[in-house]
Amino acid sequence: MVITPFLTICQDVCPMISANFGRLAQTISKAGLDSKIALVELTVDPETDTPSRLAAYQKIYGARPNWSFYTGEPAAVSQVLGALGIAFEKTMLTPAEMKTGNPDWLTGKVWNYDVSHQDAVIIIGPDGHEKWLEEGIANTQGNSIPDSLKKYLSEDGRSNLQTPDPNGSWTNSDVLAELSKLGGFKFS
């Protein structure tokens, strides 16, 4: 299983994470490994990221059967994220910060909070233990994000999309290389 934290109101990094996971899902399917490798995006904002909101987000990306988005009761989500070692924190925005935010891609609402979280991608082995963790921003390497979310990106988000930090980012190639090394999988 490949897992990453995210939230649907993110304007900085999460749309790029989802773009990478979309491409990973395609590559895994093409290799005939859907039943062996699951991709999971776990929200750090379960109060907003309801099943219906996640379904709308999933639809924008055209998520494949091997790529799932999860939410749950806040305490349960916090427990899972804690077990994975993923730090996150909800912070309220100032009125000035709210003025710089873009309207939500789904509701048109300007949010009054954000949830900062550790940017990471993790591979969990069949034994349920972490096998690999890479911290950093998702480098899409040209994978596109949906226009509705591209318009929603903040200035930092647009910068992350155009020029990701090469020393603090992960790519699909990184994930596929680790999956190959850990599981002997072949990808083309």
CATH (domain of 179): 3.40.30.10
Q: What is the pLDDT of residue 129?
A: 93
Q: Average pLDDT in the 94-99 region?
A: 91
Residue 15 pLDDT > 90 = yes
In a domain, 140, yes or no: yes
Of residues 149 and 71, the one with the higher pLDDT is 71
The pTM is what? 0.93
In a domain, 146, yes or no: yes
Residue 126 pLDDT > 80 = yes
Of residues 187 and 143, the one with the higher pLDDT is 187
Ordered alpha helix ranges (H), the chain: 14-30, 51-61, 74-84, 95-100, 147-150, 155-162, 172-183
Side chain identity at residue 112, one-letter code? N
Q: What is the pLDDT of residue 167?
A: 76
Residue 164 pLDDT > 90 = no
In a domain, 133, yes or no: yes
Query: Angle 179-60-28 (CA atoms, 0-180°, nearest 5)?
Result: 20
- Is the separation of the CB atoms in 31 and 186 below 8 Å? yes
Q: Average pLDDT in the 121-140 region?
A: 93
Residue 42 pLDDT > 90 = yes
In a domain, 78, yes or no: yes
Q: What is the pLDDT of residue 188?
A: 83
HEC profile of 127-142: CCCEEEEEECEECCCC
Q: CA 82, CA 100: separation in Å to the nearest integer?
A: 31
Q: Average pLDDT in the 124-128 region?
A: 93
Q: What is the pLDDT of residue 28?
A: 97
Beta bridge partners of 70: 42
Q: What is the pLDDT of residue 101?
A: 82
Residue 26 pLDDT > 90 = yes
Q: How many domains does the chain have?
A: 1
Q: CA 169, CA 37: separation in Å to the nearest integer?
A: 22
* Domain membership of residue 76 as a residue range: 2-183
Helix, strand, or coil here: 8? coil
Please list, residue by residue across 147-169, b when 16 or more beta carbons sit within 10 angstroms of its beta carbon and e when fewer do. eebeebbbeebeebbeebeeeeb
Closest CA to 16 of 106, 134, 115, 149: 149
**Mean pLDDT for the chain overall:** 93
Percent of the chain topping pLDDT 70: 99
In a domain, 26, yes or no: yes
In a domain, 188, yes or no: no
**69 token code pair:** 């988005």
Residue 30: count other Cβ atoms within 10 Å of its Cβ: 11
